[in-house]
Amino acid sequence: MITTANFTSKENIDLSKEMALVGATDCPFTTLLMSKGLTDKAGSVTINWRERTLDSTADISQEEGFTTETFKASARAEKSNIMEIFSKAVQISGTAQASDVTGINDLFASEINDRLLETKINCEKKMLSKTNYDSGSESGVRQMKSIFELVHADNIVNLAATPNSVASLDFNTFISLPKKLWTAGVATNQYICMVNADFKEQIDGFFADYISYNQPMTTYGFIANRIQTNYGLVDVVLNRHVPIDSIILFAPEYLRLSFLRKPFYEMLAKDGDNIKGQVLTEMSLKAYNSKAIAIAMPEED
């Protein structure tokens, strides 16, 4: 009987740890959730979870010796998302694999590593795209809901759209994002804010006039990577995959990457003088609290 012990080192490989490490700075959203262990195992192509909302009765004071007649329960709205399959394949001729390539000990292994990075980048883009969801009923290709499609409508801040340029961001608008989470009662004091380059430079500019140099220096400049607000610390992360006209702020402990199939590599059937293999994962995104996300973006027409 053939078991996995008979496989070569390239025929059955779990790439979960490798995916968490590869392209760490280019895919900060995926890297953050995987490195913090914010992942879980799915059991089917559709994942469901409950979002708890506490009772908001304003006055629960009672008279002495009262009789309990009113009972409350947490509202638990059902939320769902769908698994999306990501796959990248590589095929190399036997001659190419046998040839010496300067700086590359194993051409096939190097190509597989590149396909893993490309897969991670594609996952990142899909999770951070404005519109992504497709049940696959017509196209046949399932596409998960992105973070834009999981955020609560009350936590969307509208930015004034500017034709042919990036919308202008002011400090009050920026601060309104962590305030949205605080107002919703999200139990955290540290947030992650992901932005593209233009908005990151605008955020840096909020504090540029407060910096002074007390001695001669050869290196100048200021980058606002962590901002202290009344509502908690905000770590600002540059992410090239965030839409250029949007800002995403979230409490990471309320998000999960859900895997039906963790990232892995498998050999494909050999049918000649070549080697074939693919990197594959089937995953989705969960938001246990839709109000643990706040987004600023131009108002849709």
**Tens-place pLDDT, residues 116-159:** 999 999 999 999 999 999 999 999 999 999 999 999 999 999 98
Distance CA 139, CA 137 (A): 6
83: containing domain = 4-52+78-213+221-298
For residue 64, tell me if it sits in a domain: no
Instruction: Please state the domain count of the chain.
Output: 1
For residue 73, tell me if it sits in a domain: no
Enter the pTM of the model.
Answer: 0.83
The domain that contains 207 carries what CATH number?
Answer: 3.90.1690
Instruction: Chunk the chain into consecutive blocks of 10 residues (it has 301) and report each block's average pLDDT, rounded to whole numbers.
Output: 44 72 86 94 93 65 69 71 95 83 76 90 96 92 96 93 70 95 90 95 85 63 85 95 96 96 90 90 95 91 58
Distance CA 144, CA 127 (A): 8
- Identify the three-state secondary structure at position 282: strand
